[in-house]
């Protein structure tokens, strides 16, 4: 992946260090590995971010940061990828996770009538939380593995392409020098 493209869209590390929800990590945010863009840190951050994006919990960004810091992967990418699950994508994403959970548990899919009331939502969650969280865990692990492998592969393809272009430029320069 081109570093300049990633750097353009990720926030500066000082702004993340000063973020009100991430201040609790204090000096841990000064580790330079959290800000490097290399194959290991970017692919690891994709795994962390995509995993937590699949888990239906509040403060996913904080949990992604809490995982990225000890894993020493790119913090801004990990935190940003949590937004794969946003208010638009959450309903179909978590419904799919629920379906995966019912399939793994061998339970039938419950038809839940949606009503916007606290009692109805609490009653629905009480019946579906086990398949929802199991399915979210399974989907999160699969998304993390796929994200990790795809980013490693894309990074490698970019490097191979860059090396081939560099060899081609060298050959052209040699031809130009030999013709003069």
pLDDT over 70 at 13, yes or no:
no
- Of 47, 41, 42, nearest in space to 142 by CA: 47
What confidence tens digit (pLDDT) does each residue in 143-153 have?
A: 999 999 999 99
Note the pLDDT of residue 16. Answer: 66
Nearest to 107 by CA among 83, 135, 80, 81: 135
**3-state secondary structure string across 81-147:** HHHHCCCCCHHHHHHHHHHHHHHHHCCCCCCCCCCCCHHHHHHHHHHHHHHHHHHHHHHHHHHHHHH
Residue bearing tokens 């750097």: 7
Higher pLDDT, 10 or 32: 32
> At residue 11, does pLDDT exceed 70?
no
Q: How many domains does the chain have?
A: 1
pLDDT in tens, 112-145: 666 666 776 677 777 788 999 999 999 999 999 9
Distance between alpha carbon 139 and the CA centroid of its chain, in Å?
A: 13
pLDDT at residue 81 in the model? 93
Instruction: Quickly count: other Cβ atoms within 10 Å of residue 8's Cβ.
Output: 8
Range of the domain at 131: 3-179
- Model pTM score: 0.77
Question: Which whole number is the average pLDDT over 61-82?
Answer: 91
pLDDT in tens, 78-111: 999 999 998 899 888 988 999 999 999 998 888 7
């Amino acid at each position: 992946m081109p570093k300049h493209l990633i750097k353009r869209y990720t926030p500066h590390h000082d702004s993340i260090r000063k973020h009100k929800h991430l201040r609790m990590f204090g000096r841990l945010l000064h580790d330079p590995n959290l800000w490097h863009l290399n194959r290991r840190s970017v692919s690891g951050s994709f795994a962390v971010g995509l995993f937590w994006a699949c888990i239906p919990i509040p403060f996913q960004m904080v949990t992604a940061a809490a995982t990225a810091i000890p894993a020493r992967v790119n913090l801004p990418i990990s935190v940003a990828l949590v937004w794969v699950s946003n208010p638009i994508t959450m309903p179909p994403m978590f419904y799919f996770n629920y379906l995966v959970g019912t399939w793994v548990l061998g339970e039938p899919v419950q038809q839940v009538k949606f009503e916007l009331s606290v009692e109805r939502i609490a009653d629905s969650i009480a019946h579906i939380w086990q398949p929802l969280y199991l399915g979210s865990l399974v989907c999160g692990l699969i998304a993390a593995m796929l994200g990790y492998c795809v980013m490693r592969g894309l990074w490698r393809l970019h490097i191979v392409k860059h090396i081939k272009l560099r060899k081609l430029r060298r050959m052209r320069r040699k031809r130009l020098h030999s013709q003069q």
